[in-house]
Amino acid sequence: MRIDRPTEDDTPRAGAADRAAGAAFPSAAAGNAAPDRVAFAAEYRATVDAAHREHRAAREWDEAVPALREAWEAHEKKWIYPERTEPTVQADIPGAWRGDGGRYLAPDANAEVTRGCARIRELGETVITPTMRRIEAEDPARHLAGLDHRLKGENRLKEKVAERLQLRPELSPSQVLSAVPDAVRFTFVYPHERYADGVGADVRRLRAEGFELTEPLKNTWANEQYKGLNSRWRDSDSGQVFELQFHTRASFEAKQLTHPAYERIRNPETSDDERAELEDFQRQAGEKIPIPPGATEIEDCPREERDG
């Protein structure tokens, strides 16, 4: 929808505005104090300016998307990449699990992780998700996005556990699984102009619900290749950890658009030449994301909380 920026004649002000905005101002003759029309005009102008900036940010991103999609399609044609296959149980060892890149779980470890994954799903569905839904309902201006993907797949979790156990064999499979930060994950998407205030309000809501930050918020709005804000939380009662990302529509869509590139960058089989092109593609997308007001200044928690 096109939003026109009004001229000065459209702005209520002292004098002519007494008649033009009579319904908006209480009548002094009716016994009310004379309204502060200067303050009203300033608030009106600020609201219109914010709507104009919101519209401009959305337009800038939408205009950039077609070229970014074309660039990714060209990359895929240039670099043939095999489809990723799902890991399968190793046939000669019943109950074992084997994934890509030599990742392996022996039968006992695989059974332990399978039980742990079931527990994560239960807590994610019965504890974390309902609470996040309640928090979402407190501010209809933003919403949870990608809820269908809030639980990481079991095979992906086993990949992470097997990979970590190769580096830390002294740990148990359950210890490694419990430390995976994004086994349960959510994303809030905010209007461009309300991003910073919305993040601060939701951090307070999360804490009020008994969720604890396990580390400071990771602010990457100044990053060239990925813009957004990531956080890791723990439910104080169950101990279940989860990830929460804070995005605008543009930064969320950019994340979705560049996710295949991110996966290829992480793949050890990707060549250095292709990796350089992938990182350049992510930078191209990052340059097109409008940065919301105050986003780069967001710290680990709202200032008023730190000051007590």
Show Cβ contacts of residue 239 under 8 Å, excluding neighbours closer than 6 positions.
Answer: 178
Residue 185 pLDDT more than 70?
yes
Decide if 183 is inside a domain.
yes
Among residues of the chain, what percentage have pLDDT more than 70? 80
Decide if 252 is inside a domain.
yes
Decide if 44 is inside a domain.
no
Average pLDDT over residues 102-121: 95
> Taking all residues of the chain, what is their mean pLDDT, rounded to a whole number?
84
CATH of the domain at 247: 3.30.460.10
Answer for the pair 101, 268: CB distance below 8 angstroms, yes or no: yes
H-type alpha helices, 30-143: 37-78, 107-123, 129-137
Average pLDDT over residues 247-263: 96
Q: Which of helix, strand or coil describes residue 294? A: coil
Decide if 231 is inside a domain.
yes
Q: What is the pTM of this model?
A: 0.78
Which amino acid, 265? I
At residue 20, the pLDDT reads 38
At residue 26, the pLDDT reads 46
The pLDDT confidence band at residue 226, using thresholds 50, 70 and 90, is very high
At residue 301, the pLDDT reads 57
Residue 29 pLDDT more than 90?
no
Average pLDDT over residues 46-51: 68
Decide if 68 is inside a domain.
no
The pLDDT confidence band at residue 15, using thresholds 50, 70 and 90, is very low
Q: How many CA atoms within 13 Å lie on the side-chain side of 295? A: 24
CB-based contacts of 225-233 (< 8 A; 24+ apart in sequence): 225/258, 225/279, 225/282, 225/283, 225/285, 225/286, 226/255, 226/258, 226/262, 226/282, 226/286, 227/251, 227/254, 227/286, 227/289, 227/291, 228/252, 228/255, 229/199, 229/295, 229/298, 231/203, 232/181, 233/206
Q: Beta strands 185-190 and 241-248: pairing type?
A: parallel
Among residues of the chain, what percentage have pLDDT more than 90? 69
Could you tell me which of 95, 189, 186, 194 has the C-alpha nearest to residue 148? Answer: 186
Q: pLDDT tens across 49-94, in order?
A: 667 778 788 899 899 999 999 999 999 999 877 665 555 545 468 9
At residue 209, the pLDDT reads 96
Q: Which of helix, strand or coil describes residue 23? A: coil
Decide if 69 is inside a domain.
no
Decide if 38 is inside a domain.
no
Question: Which domain, by its residues, includes 144?
Answer: 89-306
* Ramachandran angles phi, psi of 93, nearest 5°: -130, 95
Could you tell me which of 252, 250, 259, 308 has the C-alpha nearest to residue 281? Answer: 259
What is the domain count for the chain?
1
Give the C-alpha distances (Å, rounded to integers) separating 285 from 26, 41, 149, 205, 254: 50, 38, 23, 31, 6
If one compares 56 and 130, the residue with the highest pLDDT of the two is: 130
Q: What token pair was written down for 109?
A: 């470890």
The secondary element (H helix, E strand) that includes residue 243 is strand 241-248
Decide if 96 is inside a domain.
yes
